Structure 1
Amino acid sequence: MMKRDRLSAIRQILYSSGSSSIEEIAEAVGASPATVRRDLVTLESAGAITRTRGGARIADSAGIEVAFQHREQQNLAAKRAIAEAAFETLAPHCSLFLDAGTTALQLARCIRLNPMPLSVFTNCLVTAQHLMDVAGIKVTVIGGVLRTENASMVGSLAEELLDRLWFDHLFLGAGAIAEDLSIYSLDEAEARLNEKMLTRATLKTLLVDHSKFGRRLTYRVAALAPEIEIITDDGLEASWRQRLADIGCAPRIVAVPKGASEGLE
């Protein structure tokens, strides 16, 4: 395989899987580990990937999101623990909005396993599919432009519809929580819609695992504020816990079972 083709193949592997080891990439492209290491240096210099210990992952700054079904597996044990904690806050007959994040999807699965009468609104097609045949749950999908990377509906139509709705509880994910203590997204339309969501709910809960802290993506959603509850896992560094407490956003920390599979890092 020529180098140009090999670099393209490596990018595609990381796009599909999120991250891979050098050995896995070498086997997939038919090259030696030494050659793959040199290729990864080239791709990292171009901003396409980020090298990790023993492998690489797609770069946040590359502007490419990992396919939904693969991102769903990243830090899966933490996402499940966070979702279970969020489920404990639900009350029958309330109205919820679940965003298109993969941790909110885990909350939808908790609801499916332990159903109660709820009105669930979402902009995520996958979430709607998980709840559409559950007795006692009324599911509403807001319309808009389909964003295939996240299986979500976004755009001006979705934003206009939110202006006509009010929710008892919003559960929102985040692509990143940056050093400026703001929520960020990789996609402009998703960021605008998430910002609108935060203005349309009585209770606002951010579902975000520890890996999202200290990162920055392109589009700012909103600044963290005391009225936004944060549920995260016990992998969050003590310095971040203190910074959040200092602005009135002390997070609720949930324990991830020891030995649980974390999926892709």
Structure 2
Amino acid sequence: MHAIERAEHIMTALQRDKVVVVTELSHEMQVTEETVRKDLEKLENQGKLHRVHGGAYLNDGFGNETPYAVRSRILRAEKDRIGRQCLKLVREQEPVFLDASTTAASLARALAESRKRLIVITNSLEVVKILEAAPQIRLVLLGGEFDRAYGAFEGSSVIMQLRQYYIQTAFLSGAGISLEAGMTDSAPGSAEIRRAVIERASRRVLMADMTKIGRNGPYVIGELGDVDCLVSDGSVEAKDQALYEKLLENEAEVMRA
């Protein structure tokens, strides 16, 4: 398969699935993974996609604006590292909140394997599915209108139910974090839920892979001062030194998974 044909194949797959994986493309096009990576690099330089470790996604949205099923295939290893790092921040018996992000699902898998006893409050159906077989964890699912694209329960009823609970530590994600805008999201419904969680939580942990550092979504979740801890998969200082210094100035902890 020639380079032009490979580019057409990749873009057709992206238009269909919104995400492509290097190993899958290598098998489909019968070329080496290195060839696929070079093809993806060329297409990224043309502004047609955004490369991530192990694949690429269509350059048409604000990260978590993309449906959950698509996002769950992107940056799996990085999200799992963040999840395992966040596990170290969880204390026995404490009530924690996990949002409906794919990174929160990675943390849920780490919690299930850890055998830690605690209470997990969530609006994520995927988190519940992961933790339902973990008897040491008490599960609280906040119900509302279910958004199938995002795998989350949203709406005013979720906000009202949140008022009934004390949250020791909230684990949140979003579309990005930047010096200019603070924590932001791609959709108004999820941003509203996360804002309400921030108000209820004693400690707020933002889980953000490196693609979200210095990036802005259209809906504000909170200010930088609302972040008690930022967990990422790379060096925040190297990616955005001004943001890193501001977080430290605010006495936030910055952790690398």
Superposition TM-score tier, normalisation by shorter sequence: 0.7 to 0.9
Task: Report 1 or 2 for greater relative contact order, CA contacts < 8 Å, sequence distance ≥ 6.
Answer: 1
Aligned CA distance change for structure 1 residues 159 and 237 (closer, same or farther; 3 Å)? same
In 2, Cα distance between equivalents of 1:84 and 1:64? 21
SS at match of 1:91: coil
In 2, Cα distance between equivalents of 1:20 and 1:136? 35
Give how far 1:94 is off: 0.8
Give how far 1:173 is off: 0.9
1:215 matched to 2:215? The reply is yes
What's 2:37 paired with?
A: none
In 1, Cα distance between equivalents of 2:168 and 2:63? 33
In 1, Cα distance between equivalents of 2:240 and 2:197? 25
- The answer to whether the 8 A contact 1:234-1:254 is kept is yes
**How many residue pairs were aligned?**
232
What's 1:248 paired with?
A: 250
In 1, Cα distance between equivalents of 2:83 and 2:236? 16
**TM-score, normalised on structure 2?**
0.76
- Supply the AA of the counterpart residue of 1:125: L
1:227-238 superposed matches below 5 A = 227-238=227-238
| Contiguous gaps of at least 5 residues in structure 1 | 1-6, 29-36, 256-265
1:1-265 superposed matches below 5 A = 13-14=14-15, 16-19=17-20, 50=49, 57-61=57-61, 65-225=65-225, 227-238=227-238, 240-246=240-246, 247-248=249-250, 250-255=252-257
Deviations 1:79-114 (A, max 9, x none): 122111111121111101100111111110011111
- Over the matched positions of the two proteins, sequence identity in percent amounts to 22
- The answer to whether the 8 A contact 2:236-2:244 is kept is no
**TM-score, normalised on structure 1?**
0.74
Aligned CA distance change for structure 1 residues 114 and 132 (closer, same or farther; 3 Å)? same
Aligned CA distance change for structure 1 residues 244 and 226 (closer, same or farther; 3 Å)? farther
Aligned CA distance change for structure 1 residues 61 and 249 (closer, same or farther; 3 Å)? farther
What's 1:32 paired with?
A: none
- Alpha carbon RMSD of aligned pairs, Å? 3.3
In 1, Cα distance between equivalents of 2:89 and 2:132? 21
Give how far 1:182 is off: 1.2
| Contiguous gaps of at least 5 residues in structure 2 | 1-7, 30-39
